[in-house]
Chain A
Amino acid sequence: MSENVLHIDHLTMRFGGVVAVNDLSMDINRGEIVALIGPNGAGKTTAFNMVTGVYTPTSGKITLMGQDITGRRPDEITKLGIARTFQNIRLFSSMTVFENVLTARHLRRTSNFLSATFRLNAAEEKRMRQETEALLKEVGLYELRDEMATSLPYGKQRLLEIARALSTQPKVLLLDEPAAGMNPQETEELGAFIKLIKDKFDLTVFLIEHHMNLVMDISDRIYVIDFGKQIAQGTPSEVQNDPAVIAAYLGVDEEEEVSPA
């Protein structure tokens, strides 16, 4: 088996009496694209929030490349190599496309506020700008670099969120419903894009998604959860034919999306 990057061990999250995530265990290996799916309210985003440090799990352990990151602050976890995007886009609204991506370089700085203010770190600032330009070219946003982030069309904003996450130089990229609100063509392009950046930036991708076509198309493995509990896992074709998965989805409106077609 290939090298294990992210290991989630019996993770449980309780909000008062509600168990949002119940005893979830996952293994994500280097270079994989792993999807976490499940009906609405199944606890997918809660799982993400625990991995990225927004919530401290009630119990369980999260390990990133052998290092225990359970309950660490979000900024520390990002520094250690997990970057994320958000289900509802959260770009820096007062900034341009370029500045959004540039700001995400801040965490790799070596300067302190004095050397940054008095420009003693000119070389570093220059390097950050160059790297940002290069990154924007690679993701195809270079032409839009001076636009305000919020003035971009919806699909481009999603792309910019991914670019911003990439700018933190992650090892694992967490995408929270990257295709939400996209039309079928945009979704297809997004799938190709995710595969492309995965190879280019040597990433491991962990995503939550409702567009089953996309999930089945790009994922190496899929975990399915319902009511916070894992109900199935495996390759796309295994999961598609799993009776537990079909049952979980049958009760809701998304049945036709998950049935093998």
Chain B
Amino acid sequence: MTEIKRKKLDSATVISIVIVLALYVAVFVAEQFIPATSMLFTVIKKGATYALVAVSMNLLNGFTGIFSLGQAGFMLIGAYVYGIFTIPVISRMDVYQYYNGGLVQFTLPVFVAMLLSGLAAAFLALLIGLPVLRLKSDYLAIATLGFAEIIRALFQWDKLGPITNGSNMLRLFPNFNDFNIRNADGQVVVYLSTLVPLLIAGVCIFVIILLINSTYGRALRAIKDDEIAAEAMGIRLASHKRLAFCISSFFAGVGGAMLAMYQTTVQAKSFTTAMTYEILLIVVIGGIGSVTGSCLSSFLFVACSEWWLRFLDQKQVIGDFEVPLLRNGFRLVVFSIIIMIVVLFFRQGIMGRKELPDLIRQLQGKKVKGGASK
């Protein structure tokens, strides 16, 4: 980093960076010793994916004040672009069995394809942003929601089958497990399948943090605070909103590619509005306008929904006593109650607008137990 930045780095920021790095090391070490099938890694992988998408949504909703609900649509595009360009050529006949092996007959490296996922989402955001960003608040939300639905339908269209495989799923593309380093016998020597997604999300979120703290980030916050004043201070609203929309969509696209890797398959019908609402929920619970909050809450959200609350779905017997109410679906009831409690009593979310360094500054040198931030 640059000179002024270094001058500005106070102890709280340094401690935050150390905490985050320590978490990365912890994940790396854990991965080598704990069986790869552990729920912990599932949660971290999905959590990292959701964290990236949540932060990208926060960039729009929390920092620019654009209420967009198109996240699932941009994730879908990212996931499909990734899938389409990374399925190995020999597998294409199997995947595109109804479409003669499909149109695309080459394969791109994983990271190039991920970059392309982001760029494709950003380009589409640029196009739909032209009409849509003229709208405000609720109207914008409805328009972006509609756009996501249109995309979902479009990708299942039979005529696009040679590219999107119609309503059939894309599969056999490289997933997170391919990041593990194997020896000649195919045995895993170094486990990286959890660390790499966490790293990808971390780098992307770091870039977003850099953007937020740049002069452009300040301009975006100014637009959120007061559009009229921002414009009067020489900030061009249209171009800055478009910029935020494209950048947010870029990272949602990368997040979509990560989701594809996590799921190992891609199918358009799974990118529903409910997915956008999940992300929105994460942003709200974490705190609108806090990157740390979005990260924390996405791990918590994923852990609760995939792991910690799973026992509620099964019959539990303590001694002779069979706990009443517990049956399939009860988890969702408890989950809803938790969310209601958060919304009622922690209206600012977990973090409000604070970030990790702010928290450390508050604790002033006391020992800090860091959460899974970044």
Contact = CB atoms under 8 A, between A and B. Distances in A.
A107 B3 CA distance: 23
A78 B4 CA distance: 29
B232 A52 contact: yes
Interface stretch (A12-20, A63-71, A85-93): A85-93
B56 to A, nearest CB: 14
B66 to A, nearest CB: 15
Nearest to A74: B231
Nearest to B229: A90
Contacts, number: 113
B233 A164 contact: yes
Interface in A91-131: 91-95, 99, 102-107, 109, 111, 113, 116-119, 122, 125-126, 128-129
B229 A113 contact: no
A75 interface: yes
Residue among B2, B5, B243, B247 having the largest count of chain A Cβ atoms under 10 Å: B2
A118 B247 CA distance: 14
Given A94-B289, A94-B353, A73 B226 contact: no
Contacts of A74: 231-232
Contacts of A99: 218
Given A90-B226, A117-B207, A122-B5, A111 B215 contact: yes
Contact of A92 (B210, B225, B234): B225
B336 interface: no
B235 interface: yes
Interface in A139-186: 164-165, 167-168
Interface in B128-166: none
Interface string B272-303: 00000000000000000100000000000000
Interface in A21-55: 52, 54
Given A116-B216, A119-B1, A106 B233 contact: yes
How many A residues are at the interface, by size bracket?
35 or more
B58 to A, nearest CB: 14
Contacts of B233: 75, 78, 83, 103-104, 106-107, 164-165, 167-168
A125 B229 contact: no
Given A86-B229, A91-B229, A106-B218, A75 B224 contact: no
A85 to B, nearest CB: 9
A210 interface: no
Nearest to B233: A104
A7 interface: no
Contacts of B5: 119, 122
A75 B236 contact: yes
B211 interface: yes
Given A75-B231, A90-B226, A105 B215 contact: yes
Nearest to A52: B232
Contacts of B326: none
A87 B141 CA distance: 31
A221 interface: no
A84 B232 contact: yes
Nearest to B5: A119
Contact of B221 (A94, A111, A117): A94
Given A103-B215, A106-B219, A165-B233, 19 more contacts: A75-B233, A75-B235, A78-B234, A90-B229, A92-B225, A92-B226, A92-B230, A94-B289, A99-B218, A103-B230, A103-B235, A106-B216, A106-B218, A109-B215, A116-B216, A118-B210, A122-B4, A125-B214, A126-B3
User: 3 closest pairs, A vs B, by CB?
Assistant: A107-B234, A122-B2, A78-B234
30 contacts: A75-B233, A75-B236, A76-B236, A86-B232, A91-B226, A92-B222, A92-B229, A94-B221, A95-B218, A95-B225, A102-B218, A103-B218, A103-B221, A104-B233, A104-B234, A105-B215, A106-B218, A106-B222, A106-B234, A107-B233, A113-B214, A116-B211, A118-B210, A119-B1, A119-B214, A122-B3, A126-B4, A128-B215, A165-B233, A168-B234
